[in-house]
Structure 1
Amino acid sequence: MPSRKKMLMFAAAFFTSIWSFVIVCLILATKNWASSEVTFTQANSSTVTVTIAYGIFEGVCSQIITGGVQMPETTFQVLDKLDNMETKSINVVIILLLILSLFSSLLSSGFTCSNTVCNPYQTFLGPIGIYTWNSLNGIFILLAMILFAANIEANKLSVKLASKCTFSTNQYEKSTSNYGYSYWIMLLILLLNVATVIIIFFYHRARYSEKKEQERPIENAPKDGILF
């Protein structure tokens, strides 16, 4: 049976891993990755302000025409609105990265849970596997954040989506964008990954020190404790 210390530390690592999994599920399901206000000019010189909020799958948009006339909100599918292949491809890559992150979080949770109730393996199922899956998870999340920001800043994702919510004859004028909680909460996933690795590292280091202490050469033992 594993020691109480080992059970507590791996249980703590399981807690951080499972929360990482839950948060990835949350950000996949929400549409609060970014919000923007995009202003277009109509042919008669009046303006239309499109307010848009979206995630990687779904979004909502509404229009306010000069004079305060507000159109009702409409829901749209992000991939259906994108006709630019580069922007669409990046969005698909982000989805794949988050699915891989979900998979690695699940594996990390499984490894930490199994090691809580049994002695740690000296193979990939032990600390090495936990380090690997949490490192990969962090890389997937970091890449997803970078690509999403690049899609907004470089490829004008908000403008492209907003243009599909208004008349095609309107001319783009200006826009402002903000990142939502679904985007920033990915930083918490990175922190949880780091926490999991730190917990297992300290356990592994303490166990290694104990093992070395037990294997101390006999010549270092007190002479009066040696029996011939």
Structure 2
Amino acid sequence: MPSRTKTLHFLSSALVTCISVGILGFAMSTAWATKSMKCARDGSGFFNGSAAVTLGLFDGRLEQELCPLFGPPVDFEVFPKLTETKGVPLVLHAVTLCLLALCLLCSAVSILISLYNSVSNPYETYMGPIGIYASSAISACLSVLALVVFVVNFSVTTVAEDLVRTFSENVPVDLKIVSYKMLLGYYLLIPYAALSLLAIGLIYMYDHAAYTQRREQQRPTEDAPKEIMMY
């Protein structure tokens, strides 16, 4: 059976990773960004309409006024609408989702390894601290990469403008970006990455202490009197 210290550290790591998974799950279910635009009929030059697109990973919301017509807010599923537009925005959005799915998978692996180590004493293989270092580090790196891919997709490409045009009822419109901002779902990836690194830190603290103790046990004669060492 593992020592109480080892059990405490590995259970703490599993708990921290579980919290990070809960944060990521909530982040994936809420809105990530919103973009406001001025709208005009194609070629008119009069930007007297407006539209706002709020985008999550799976669901979105469009609010429009004279763009090109009045209408109530419309909720839509992101992937079917992006499939209509095709191109780079669809690919980048799919990449973001794949990265987050891999984050969840790596976090699940980290939890399982932590729980396994809390009740047993495996060898120093991928089922020990090394496995937690690798899986948690990959989770943190992929979450940061997902942040970058999503913000590039939303701010650089025309994903929001393309979505507005799919609702314009075949009336060509000109769109001018007014502002955009990232929302709660996007920023929740930051604490997710931080907690993944914290899980690594908890295991490193135990691993370093255990390594130091092993080194001390392997040098029993260094502090012995010289007379004893001569015999």
> Please, what TM-score do these two structures have when normalized by structure 1?
0.89
Q: Secondary structure at the match of 2:57?
A: coil
Q: Which structure 2 residues correspond to residues 215-226 of structure 1 after superposition, within 5 A?
A: 215-222=218-225
Query: Which residue number in structure 1 is paired with residue 54 of structure 2?
Result: 53
Query: Which residue number in structure 1 is paired with residue 158 of structure 2?
Result: 156
User: Would you say how many aligned residue pairs link Structure 1 and Structure 2?
Assistant: 224
Displacement of 1:136 in angstroms is: 0.9
Gap change, CA 1:180 and 1:223, over 3 Å in 2: same
**Cα deviation code 1:54-86 (max 9, x no counterpart):** 1122101111239xx963111112122221321
Displacement of 1:197 in angstroms is: 0.8
Gap change, CA 1:209 and 1:57, over 3 Å in 2: same
* Amino acid across the alignment from 2:11: A
Query: Which residue number in structure 2 is paired with residue 122 of structure 1?
Result: 124
Q: Which stretches of structure 1, 4 residues or more, deviate above 6 A after TM superposition?
A: 223-226
Hey, what's the Cα distance between the residues in 1 that align with 2:127 and 2:160?
43
Q: Which structure 2 residues correspond to residues 6-45 of structure 1 after superposition, within 5 A?
A: 6-30=6-30, 32-42=31-41, 43=44, 45=46
CA-based RMSD of the aligned residues comes to 2.3
1:78 aligns with 2:81: no
Deviates more, 1:122-131 or 1:35-44: 35-44
Gap change, CA 1:46 and 1:215, over 3 Å in 2: closer
**Cα deviation code 1:163-194 (max 9, x no counterpart):** 32334322112331110110011011110111
**Cα deviation code 1:105-135 (max 9, x no counterpart):** 1000111111112224321100000000011
Query: Which residue number in structure 2 is paired with residue 171 of structure 1?
Result: 174
What is the identity percentage for the equivalent residue pairs of Structure 1 and Structure 2?
26
Gap change, CA 1:213 and 1:74, over 3 Å in 2: same
1:203 aligns with 2:202: no
Gap change, CA 1:190 and 1:44, over 3 Å in 2: closer
Displacement of 1:217 in angstroms is: 4.3
Hey, what's the Cα distance between the residues in 2 that align with 1:136 and 1:44?
49
* Amino acid across the alignment from 1:124: Y
Q: Is the 8 A contact 1:62 1:165 kept in 2?
A: no
> Please, what TM-score do these two structures have when normalized by structure 2?
0.88
Displacement of 1:46 in angstroms is: 5.8
Query: Which residue number in structure 1 is paired with residue 183 of structure 2?
Result: 180
Q: Secondary structure at the match of 2:135?
A: helix
Hey, what's the Cα distance between the residues in 1 that align with 2:217 and 2:180?
60
Q: Secondary structure at the match of 1:33?
A: strand
Q: Is the 8 A contact 1:158 1:177 kept in 2?
A: no
Q: Is the 8 A contact 2:53 2:164 kept in 1?
A: yes
Q: Is the 8 A contact 1:63 1:166 kept in 2?
A: no
